[in-house]
Homo-oligomer: A and B are copies of this chain.
Amino acid sequence: MFKINDNYLKLPGSYLFSTIGKKVNAFQAANPDKKVIRLGIGDVTQPLAPAIIEALHSAVDEMADAATFKGYAPDLGYEFLRNAIARNDYKDRGCDISADEIFVSDGAKCDSGNIQEIFSVDNKIAVCDPVYPVYVDTNVMAGRTGTYDASTGMWSDVIYMPCTVDNNFAPDFPKETPDLIYLCFPNNPTGATITKDQLQDWVDYANKVGAVIIYDAAYEAYISEDNVPHSVYECEGARTCAIELKSFSKNAGFTGTRLGYTVIPKDLKAGDVMLHSLWARRHGTKYNGAPYIVQKAGEAVYSPAGKQQLSEQVAYYMNNAKIIKTGLQEAGYTVSGGVNAPYIWLKTPDRMTSWEFFDYLLEHANVVGTPGSGFGPSGEGYFRLTAFGSCENTVEALERIRKM
């Protein structure tokens, strides 16, 4: 008689954004006349940039002709894309990463969920708290997290690194030594960043204790301040301890187009086994590459026209971030983030819980945000708003919030 993976049954509730979706749908069904503004999930709203559209049409035409038709892609991704990534995201920043250390995928969510597979189930993970739920949930599914305590919202075998106003939302080194350390900067959900010196300390720490840093740099394009690192490989020694995950969703609006990549330097080893080889084996066995037309679209992200158009798109969203941040501050809220990241992190008023404020905001302003507690216990009492709406909707949402 077959048996299921009962680690799945340990997961409390459903995936955060599915829960929010259901609540919003129920509210909209009960209030069909209300215009709900969604500043909850980190989904973009601006159309794909003209340079990307052009590349997509051109690639579609290639697929229509036997002479230029493309079947299965190379395991690690097309060279034209891996070369563009290596040059623009690494070489031009002085990072020593070569094209064959880059694995193209259909997105950073998949990669951040799948990467744990190449590690032993005995490894102990450390996560920021609050944190993007995928890191913890996928380790729960793998049986790496022990038991869940509903009263604290914590797993017995996970090392939580609280990020609160007390440490300026930058994690301290944990008391217990972790094997895998998930870091995400600019941070989702808090919008906080750390300096290059602070990240260097983490790299030194990981090399010292023999841990791997899984560095999620999905929001790198939103960095506006100097001395905030764009890649973990700006730090000395990162090649022996860090994996980097990147997305095209936020810098180029690919949430519905799907493209991302993972970097595993060949110097990152367990004994004489390269983690690069393990991930290559996984890619070759369980994955068949991102669509050719999407990889061509990814290449256009790095073209001169693409870069120009996308920097304008990022500026558009960051203008929203400014509208949200200043609007909330003027309305008396305590707010952080929104400077190097498209996320604004606010303290809920009147000691409301995160979900109480979610319901309150949905009911009174018809605005959807994300409850901080959905990202971990230290997120309780906080709330995330995103800058990914349209400018008009963002302005209107803040007007409504000010009137509450």
Which residues of A are at the interface with B, using a C-beta cutoff of 8 A?
Answer: 1-6, 8-9, 11, 14-15, 18, 41, 43-48, 50, 53, 56-57, 60-61, 63-66, 69-73, 75, 106-107, 109-110, 113-114, 117-123, 133-134, 137-138, 141, 179-180, 209-212, 253, 255-258, 270, 273, 275, 278, 281-282, 284-294, 390
Q: Is the CB of B71 within 8 A of A292?
A: no
Interface centre among A4, A47, A390 (most CB of B within 10 A): A4
Q: Is the CB of A291 within 8 A of B15?
A: no
> How far is the CB of A39 from the nearest CB of chain B, in Å?
13
Q: How far is it, in angstroms, between the C-alpha of A13 and the C-alpha of B68 when the chains are bound? A: 32
Contacts of A257 in B (CB 8 A): 63, 291-293
Q: Is the CB of A288 within 8 A of B110?
A: yes
Q: A134 and B41 in contact (CB under 8 A), knowing A3-B119, A5-B119, A292-B257?
A: no
For the A-B complex with A1-B211, A2-B123, A15-B281 known, give 12 more contacts whose Cβ atoms are closer than 8 Å: A2-B212, A3-B179, A4-B275, A8-B278, A47-B66, A48-B69, A53-B60, A56-B63, A109-B288, A110-B288, A257-B292, A291-B294
Q: Is the CB of A64 within 8 A of B53?
A: yes
> How far is the CB of A298 from the nearest CB of chain B, in Å?
12
Q: Which residue of B lies closest to A50 (CB)?
A: B64
Q: How far is it, in angstroms, between the C-alpha of A53 and the C-alpha of B138 when the chains are bound? A: 37
Contacts of A118 in B (CB 8 A): 4-5, 8
Q: How far is it, in angstroms, between the C-alpha of A58 and the C-alpha of B317 when the chains are bound? A: 27
Q: Is the CB of A110 within 8 A of B5?
A: no
Contacts of A119 in B (CB 8 A): 2-5
Q: Is the CB of A63 within 8 A of B53?
A: yes
Q: A4 and B270 in contact (CB under 8 A), knowing A71-B45, A286-B110, A291-B258?
A: yes
Q: How far is it, in angstroms, between the C-alpha of A282 and the C-alpha of B113 when the chains are bound? A: 10
Interface centre among A3, A73, A120, A122 (most CB of B within 10 A): A3
> How far is the CB of A394 from the nearest CB of chain B, in Å?
14
